[in-house]
Amino acid sequence: MPEEPALKVKRLQDMKISRKRVILRVDFNVPLSSDGGVRDNSRIRESLPTIKLLLKEQARVVILSHLGRPKGKSDPRLTLKPVAEELSRLLGHPVSFSEETVGSRAEKAAKALKPGEVLLMENLRFNPGEEEDSASFAGALSKLGDVFIQDAFGALHRAHASTDALPRRMPSAVGLLVQKEIEFLDRALGNPQRPFLAIIGGAKVSGKLGVLKRLVERVDSLLIGGGMAYTFLHAQGVSVGRSLVEKEMLDEAKSIIEKAFARQITCLLPADHAAVKELRPDSPVELTHGMAIPPDMIGVDIGPGTVDIFADQIKKSKTIFWNGPLGVFEMEPFAKGSLAVASAVAKQGEKAGVVTIAGGGDTLALVAKAGVAESFSHLSTGGGASLEFVEGKILPGLKALTGS
């Protein structure tokens, strides 16, 4: 959707990587279980095609990733060691682990790699230089390899040392995952089959204002759910009880609805809700009989009437882009609406000529929970990155690969 979405960047396939030390930036920011293991390995699996291609070329692979928000300090709860073990299991290939990211021991481990060997470095964000986009930290990272491959689509919207300063210092290219993401999003959303429907959910309008403004200029219909819907409803004078409302976003929400009306696109808000008095999974759920929510209640999910209305719109669409859950789906009793919409999108996506795209960590978790992931045309691994791409922004991590 940007005017120059992919810029002019080299691809991994265009690089001479045989037997070279390749620094591979991936997005292994995966959820960990209470026992320290990997709870969901989806992001690791997405990186496998690039790693396997590098191994086929007998490259010596040095992998970089962040995990969580350790704020520039070492945190044993956010070590990448269990990720190394999971990667080794998925690859069916040994993966070494370095407890340091930079420095003499890290460099020694990287230089000791033989062709076809893999080394995962410790969490980039244990060093404050990563999020500061530090030139000195990038310089230290560059000593780990000969060429740089960017395959962390989910990190491309961050100007950090490993995504911005590092690729500017050495021969660089994009890996297979980034290629797939950019090409698919650009082809499907830049020139969509119509009718084009966007489903936008999640908690806050403020986090998705840019993409909402962009989409309302391009889609044929827009469905809004999740916590942000209560701000939109409040902006229309509808009582939403004790539900989340961003008062500073009321004018923006009203403006988006007015723009949709002016463009004669269908813009739908929840027509009924599941509501509770306290935000706890054991709270009794009441269904409202209309848009309004009683003064003492909190909206936690779209109601069955809204599911039917949304499903009706989904059935008419040829391209569907979905980002953000439509309720507090993490709590089982409040997931019904989101799961029903996931099933409706999946069913529509099985029809010939229909393109369905889901993006963002929560949305992917929801689609997986619904058991319909395989029915989607594309699952975008980068939440913020895919939103900024759709919004029309040039992602810093891509710009860095051009040297501009």
Q: What is the DSSP pairing of strand 273-276 with strand 286-287?
A: antiparallel
The one catalytic residue among 204, 213, 259, 369: 204
Q: What is the pLDDT of residue 3?
A: 41
Q: 192-391 architecture in CATH? A: 3-Layer(aba) Sandwich (3.40)
Q: What is the pLDDT of residue 35?
A: 82
Q: What is the pLDDT of residue 207?
A: 86
Q: What are phi and psi of 235, to 5 degrees?
A: -65, -20
What CA–CA distances, in Å, run from 284 to 298, 325, 327? 12, 21, 16
The one catalytic residue among 68, 72, 384, 392: 384
Q: What is the pLDDT of residue 404?
A: 56
Tokens in use for 283? Answer: 């709270």
Residue 43 appears among annotated catalytic residues: yes
Q: What is the pLDDT of residue 104?
A: 97
Residue 361 appears among annotated catalytic residues: yes
Q: What is the pLDDT of residue 2?
A: 40
The one catalytic residue among 43, 60, 208, 214: 43
**Where along the chain do its domains lie?**
12-178, 192-391
Q: Domain 12-178: give its CATH code.
A: 3.40.50.1260
Q: What is the pLDDT of residue 315?
A: 97
C-alpha 21/C-alpha 115 separation (Å) is 8
- What DSSP element (H or E) covers 150? strand 147-150
C-alpha 390/C-alpha 261 separation (Å) is 21
Q: What are phi and psi of 400, to 5 degrees?
A: -60, -30
C-alpha 191/C-alpha 218 separation (Å) is 10
pLDDT in tens, the chain (404 residues): 444 444 578 999 999 999 999 999 999 998 888 888 898 888 899 999 999 999 999 999 999 999 999 999 999 999 999 999 999 999 999 999 999 999 999 999 999 999 999 999 999 999 999 999 999 999 999 999 999 999 999 899 899 999 999 999 999 999 999 999 988 888 777 889 999 999 999 988 998 888 899 899 999 999 999 999 999 999 999 999 999 999 999 999 999 999 999 999 999 999 999 999 999 999 999 999 999 999 999 999 999 999 999 999 999 999 999 999 999 999 999 999 999 999 999 999 999 999 999 988 789 889 989 999 999 999 888 777 888 888 777 888 989 998 65
Q: What is the pLDDT of residue 254?
A: 96
The one catalytic residue among 361, 382, 383, 397: 361
Residue 204 appears among annotated catalytic residues: yes
Residue 384 appears among annotated catalytic residues: yes
Give the number of other Cβ atoms within 10 Å of residue 266's Cβ.
14
C-alpha 248/C-alpha 251 separation (Å) is 7
- What's the angle, vertex CA 154, arms to CA 151 and CA 159, rounded to 5? 90
**Same fold flag, 12-178 and 192-391:** yes
C-alpha 85/C-alpha 96 separation (Å) is 9
